[in-house]
Structure 1
Amino acid sequence: HGVGYDQPSFSHFSSMAFWQTGAPNSGEQYGWLGRMADVIDPLGHTKNFLVNIDDSQSLAVRSMNHVPLVFNDPDNFSRRMFFEEKMATAAIDARGNGSANPTQDFLFDIAASANNSEQLVRDAWNAYESPIDYGLVPWGLEKVAALIAADFPTKVYYVPYRNNAFDTHVYQGDLHARLWSYTSDHIAAFVRDMERLGRGDDVVVMAFSEFGRRVAENTSLGTDHGTAGPAFVIGKPVTGGQYGKMPSLTDLDEGNLKFTTDYRRIYSTLINGWMQHDHASAILRDEFSPIPIFSRSN
């Protein structure tokens, strides 16, 4: 309950950057998941540690030592090349590490990651079959399930709910109810699919939004960008329940809820309690006490 942070931004771009980096108002260039990958596997031994289901890479998975695997459509995850380009691509795959140009290294690493992984992704997707209905509006968790079924070594999958669907400035009532129906159907299907694959104990899902909503309705029968909101951690390993103090609907800050749970406590919970890494402060750059939602939380 009441998830937020001090001095909140009401800009989509800024607030999402704060959530994705875990570092509000700092200008941090790497994502919190990217930094987690760097700390847990500093030499980048785990290939495809990070997978981002989207058309472009999210700041959340930007890392110094890991190149996230980024794709949206598995069937078309391939690079069409002229004959002359194939020699250049082969040279990228064969190059060594550690040139004097880190920007060049970064670009080459992205190209090599895509070249090496595209066939694996297509094979996993083509082999994947499930009797589970992922709902009326699937938005990517079925692709995660396909890679998990193919035993990808990935530790973290990052999947956006696209097009700012929950930004309900207009006619929120009916729209919000439908969006939650689509969302719950899709996540519940993924959880059932993990059970079907025998991986229910191995996977948890975190769902969040960069904004809450203001308490008062606006003149368009919607609500505008707010501060504190809910976040969800879902899966068989989670000790179910409601955590954190519910914000007051009357004790407001200029019409906004006062946050009661710093969102980085949830990140600390996942790093410490789920990923079993003891030094979340090295990733989050500060101490945030984890929430006891996993039986194995420290």
Structure 2
Amino acid sequence: MIQGRREFLSLAGYTFLFSGLPSLVWSKLNRKILILVELQGANDGLNTVIPLNQKYYYRLRPNIGIEKNKILNISKDNGLHFSLKNIAKKYEEGNVKIIQNMGYPHAILSHFRSIDIWETGGDGKKQFRDGWLINSLNKYSKTLDTDAKGMFLDNSNSIFRGGFDGFLGPNSLGIKPEEIEVRDTVVPVDTRKNFGLLNEILNKRKENSNLLIKLSDKFNKVKNKYSFTGGQLGRQLSNVCNLIASEIYIPVYKVALGSFDTHNNQPNTHRNLLRDLDTSLSSTINALKDIGVWKDTLIMTYSEFGRRANENGSRGTDHGMSAPHFVLGGSINGGIIGQYDDLSKLWNNNINYKIDYRSLYEFVLSNHFNIKDNPFSKFKNTDII
């Protein structure tokens, strides 16, 4: 507990010294930021990153396939959904990495069980108790001053399970949590109105309450606050950027957009969701550049699984085994990693996973936060670098 106070108070001193110069604070103190964007409900990867040279794509999707003249070509083999114009531009600038066919062995197609695996770092045979970042963030926070270790802005705190000191929910700083559509009708969502610090630390440790009041005051004093379009995701990311602009240092933020569980009438729903994703991320990147921290930030999407290659009878898609994901950042090597299998030779119409999602976690921890000794070291994939 004493250590937690020292972490919070010492940062206050630094931000006073560098007040008004957030980019200088970051460069002097080697601060890094990770923004996790959960695509709740399982995004359809095949209509997000589209194979340009596979005619069988339109046999699998005669009603929901993206028309050729609408696809945003980003390479000789791949294009993006037409709603992702800003991400396509960032890809051309070298600030987007697309990792194809991500998943895990022994895939489970239950929303609840699979997102639990992704958020704890397990696979189809086992999952872990704590969130995949907890151990590493506890180590990271000992090497430099942080106001908190992680914060979620939606209504799902499960990625920070097992976190004690320094893990925040939105209400802890007076922010209204965004009510994202439930991942699945059977998934329980924590409905407490005052998350505060996880595990009810606010009730048990009054010292933290005073510190959070100070942080809340700093957040509320930010002038010219950012306010993005892009629906629920835009509102969450606006608050993330305002927190960063206030010089509150939290290494990891988690936001969410949903629901991507498009079993019925997928085209319109998917178009609108990807449009909100594109608009919100573009505004966020511009704000991070304005603040001066874009080169020290990574934005990463994740989802519980993908969707099947063939459309169903309701102009939608059913649960599938793998999907592509995006990593955006001012200092990454952009490009596409991996490629689709021959769509005419799929097993059970599933796009099989080829890249273990834990290799992306290893990349984030090792290359972005410089935590070489992390729980995912054995999954290191040099292709992702």
Report the TM-score range of the alignment, normalised by the length of the smaller protein: 0.7 to 0.9
Q: Is the 8 A contact 1:2 1:245 kept in 2?
A: yes
Change beyond 3 A, Cα 1:23–1:173: same
In the TM superposition, what is the alpha-carbon distance from 1:200 to its structure 2 partner?
A: 1.2
Please say if 1:20 is aligned against 2:119: yes
* CA distance in structure 1 between the partners assigned to 2:203 and 2:356 by the alignment: 33
RCO higher in structure (CA 8 A, sep ≥6): 2
In the TM superposition, what is the alpha-carbon distance from 1:128 to its structure 2 partner?
A: 4.6
Change beyond 3 A, Cα 1:193–1:64: closer
* CA distance in structure 2 between the partners assigned to 1:110 and 1:210 by the alignment: 33
Percent identity for Structure 1 against Structure 2? 27
User: Which residue of 2 is the match for residue 200 of structure 1?
Assistant: 294
Match of 2:267 among 145, 149, 173: 173
* CA distance in structure 2 between the partners assigned to 1:244 and 1:157 by the alignment: 27
Q: Is the 8 A contact 1:48 1:68 kept in 2?
A: yes
* CA distance in structure 2 between the partners assigned to 1:179 and 1:126 by the alignment: 32
In the TM superposition, what is the alpha-carbon distance from 1:237 to its structure 2 partner?
A: 1.2
In the TM superposition, what is the alpha-carbon distance from 1:46 to its structure 2 partner?
A: 3.7
Q: Is the 8 A contact 2:173 2:215 kept in 1?
A: no
User: Which residue of 1 is the match for residue 224 of structure 2?
Assistant: 129
Change beyond 3 A, Cα 1:73–1:188: farther
- Greater strand fraction, Structure 1 or Structure 2: 2
Q: Kindly report which structure 2 residues correspond to 1:210-249, keeping only aligned pairs within 5 A, or say none.
A: 210-249=304-343
Give the TM-score normalised by the residue count of structure 1. Answer: 0.78
Q: Aligned AA for 1:261? A: I
User: Which residue of 1 is the match for residue 236 of structure 2?
Assistant: 140
Q: Kindly report which structure 2 residues correspond to 1:175-190, keeping only aligned pairs within 5 A, or say none.
A: 175-190=269-284
* CA distance in structure 2 between the partners assigned to 1:72 and 1:128 by the alignment: 21
In the TM superposition, what is the alpha-carbon distance from 1:40 to its structure 2 partner?
A: 3.0
Q: Is the 8 A contact 1:125 1:147 kept in 2?
A: no
Give the TM-score normalised by the residue count of structure 2. Answer: 0.61
In the TM superposition, what is the alpha-carbon distance from 1:204 to its structure 2 partner?
A: 1.1
CA-to-partner distance for each residue in 1:251-276, whole Å, 9 max, x for gaps?
A: 32222111111101110110111111
CA-to-partner distance for each residue in 1:65-111, whole Å, 9 max, x for gaps?
A: 5441111695457xxxxxxxxxxxxxxxxxxxxxxxxxxx9544675
Taking only aligned residues, the RMSD between alpha carbons, in angstroms, comes to 2.7
Match of 1:4 among 93, 103, 108: 103
User: Which residue of 1 is the match for residue 131 of structure 2?
Assistant: 31
Q: Aligned AA for 1:9? A: I
Change beyond 3 A, Cα 1:190–1:240: same
**SS, match of residue 287 in structure 1:** helix
User: Which residue of 2 is the match for residue 40 of structure 1?
Assistant: 140
In structure 2, runs of 5+ residues without a counterpart are: 1-99, 177-197
Q: Aligned AA for 2:352? A: K
